[in-house]
Chain A
Amino acid sequence: MSEPSPAVDEPTVLESFQQNGFSRRTFLKFCAATASLLALPAAEAAVLAENLATKPRPTVIYLSFQECTGCLESLTRSFSPTLEHLIFNVVSLAYNDTLQAAAGESAEAAREDAMRKAWGKYVLVVDGAIPRPLDGAYCVVGGKSALASLQHVAEGAAAVIAVGTCAAFGGLPLANPNPTGAVAVQDLVRDKPVINLSGCPPIPEIITGSVVYLLSFGVPELDEHRRPKVFFGNTIHDRCYRRPFYDKGLFATSFDDEGARNGWCLYELGCKGPTTYNSCATMKWNGGTSFPIESGHGCLGCSEPGFWDRGDFYHPLSTGRWGSGMGEKLAVAAVAGAVLGGAAAVAGRQRQKARNDASTQHPDHPEAK
């Protein structure tokens, strides 16, 4: 698969802009802003505009499973490209149970219809994890399990975008003790390209930008967790504005000490920036207003697999995870060591004594007469 293909009779993105009363200038500015967001080099930025002017809009089906709708909430706050442009001009959103006006059986019928028309070509967006046991009985929408829906819709998809840490890595549903046996999209969809846009929630512009990229160029270059490298190529720590303090060894040691007031590094307070790949430090949130570290709180690592189960939001990254009873374990170890040492010494003394006895009985020994 290189890129998703159009639904039948769909206008191109440019035509769609114009049909909706936007000028070509709006389209060009949209392209410029998106290319900048995607950090495209000049040549590719031109190709982006060209592709969007000539390619028909793809059909998008957006399914929600074990999720909190936070990812969609985030998406609605995308500044550039805005959600409105995305769903009205860039894609043809055939199904999203929160955004669509239709409900109930007619909505499901519309989805089936859209899928039939664009079979093999549409883009499937998923948020939320999927419970696997008991044929997926723990999450059922419209009489159909999440498991069955995903497998059915993914079959005809050209590519699948897993939005949010739950869809990408299992997130909170999968966290210990994982009562519903939740798994990630990539655990179930094996024969289609899966793009993971992790984050709890993901940065909205990462979602919109990735959709536009997919439409224009196909699947972007992905990292080892199948996240687009453009957005997940650096750690928070790599691009953090508090980094000079980290390098100088200046750390806040509580949330209201002198260091915190001076804006020093939050490593000691448990910041997971060094191990977290995401764009918060550069793209920021709410249209570039700020990101958590600017508000004085360390990164929780929300875009990494298993971030919830690490259970150490407020412990420095370099500390061991000792769990409870480490002191007791070490005390037992010390006692065991002492017993072994004592035994070794006793054995040593006995050996020595045996040797001495043996040598005193030797015929050459002066005492052995």
Chain B
Amino acid sequence: MDLLTFARGPALQWALVIFVVGTIWRLIGILLLPRKPDFNEPRSTHPWRGALGLIVRRTVPKREFAGPTAFGNTIGYVFHFGLAIVVFGFVPHILFIRSLTGLHWPGLPSGVIYVVGALTLAALVAALVRRLSHPVLRLLSNADDYLSWLVTAAPVLTGLMAAAHWGGPYPRLLAIHVLSVCVLLAWLPFGKLMHVFLVFVARGTTGALFARKGAST
């Protein structure tokens, strides 16, 4: 079996199985944790509205911190939106999702994707440099942060290399790209990348709690 057939077949199948087991395991594990009973009179009867509100509001930085966090926020925005555009806008990626779920939507021109991909990679590199050069951030970072960075950046880099036919014959580049996605899928539930899902759980819980207490956020 050649590398590409392996990557598109068994490697992807196993990566997906690990991804599903891991994600559901962690989500259910967290959602079923016991919560302390709150005997207070609720101030608001709409905890869901509070949850959704905070999920949205926390994506925008607080004005008071806008200045000092501008750089970090900008690169964060660039690569988060960049990743979303590349993953959900590139037609071959949409076809991949369709083959799995049956869902599909119109794609963007490949040229746009290449530019966004390059910007995303640049932002990811900037984020890494910042993490390494910022004394506090560096102190806060552990192996998980660097591994998560690596498995996120690798598919972007290998995807761009494949698109540019740079670094070897295209079938091999494509196989490496697919394999890097397999690694990402398999690692995602077990490290900090799980924030893809948990960000909603965490913000939602806090938002609901705040709403119940009537706290302003």
Contact = CB atoms under 8 A, between A and B. Distances in A.
Given A316-B99, A341-B27, 6 more contacts: A326-B100, A333-B21, A334-B21, A334-B24, A341-B28, A349-B33
A348 B33 contact: yes
Interface string B87-114: 0000111011011100000011111000
A247 to B, nearest CB: 5
A306 B9 contact: no
B25 A251 contact: no
A317 B34 contact: no
A249 B17 contact: no
B9 A321 contact: yes
A267 B169 contact: no
B96 A318 contact: yes
A249 B4 contact: no
B24 A306 contact: no
A248 B16 contact: no
Interface in B46-93: 91-93
Contacts of B92: 267, 316-318
Given A340-B21, A345-B33, A247 B100 contact: no
A15 B34 CA distance: 95
A105 interface: no
A192 interface: no
A318 B17 contact: no
A3 interface: no
B109 A341 contact: no
A53 to B, nearest CB: 37
Contacts of B18: 333
A247 B2 contact: no
A247 B111 contact: yes
A320 B100 contact: yes
B26 interface: yes
A267 B94 CA distance: 12
Contact of A306 (B2, B20, B93): B2
SS of B interface (majority): helix
B142 to A, nearest CB: 22
Interface in A328-353: 329-330, 333-334, 336-338, 340-342, 344-346, 348-349, 352
A333 B20 CA distance: 6
Interface of B: 1-2, 4-5, 8-9, 12-13, 16-18, 20-34, 91-93, 95-96, 98-100, 107-111, 165, 169-171, 174
Contact of B99 (A224, A305, A319): A319
B174 A249 contact: no
A6 to B, nearest CB: 36
Contact of A337 (B9, B22, B32): B22
Nearest to A315: B99
A238 B96 CA distance: 22
A326 B170 CA distance: 27
Contacts of A249: 91, 107-110
A318 B22 CA distance: 24
Contact of B16 (A235, A330, A344): A330
Contacts of A305: 2
Interface string A176-204: 00000000000000000000000000000
6 contacts: A306-B1, A306-B5, A333-B16, A337-B25, A341-B27, A345-B32
Nearest to B177: A318
B16 to A, nearest CB: 7
B26 A341 contact: yes
Contact of B95 (A223, A238, A248, A268): A268
Contacts of B110: 246-249
A277 interface: yes
A149 interface: no
B95 A318 contact: yes
Contacts of B34: 348-349, 352
A168 to B, nearest CB: 14
A270 B47 CA distance: 48
Contacts of A235: 170
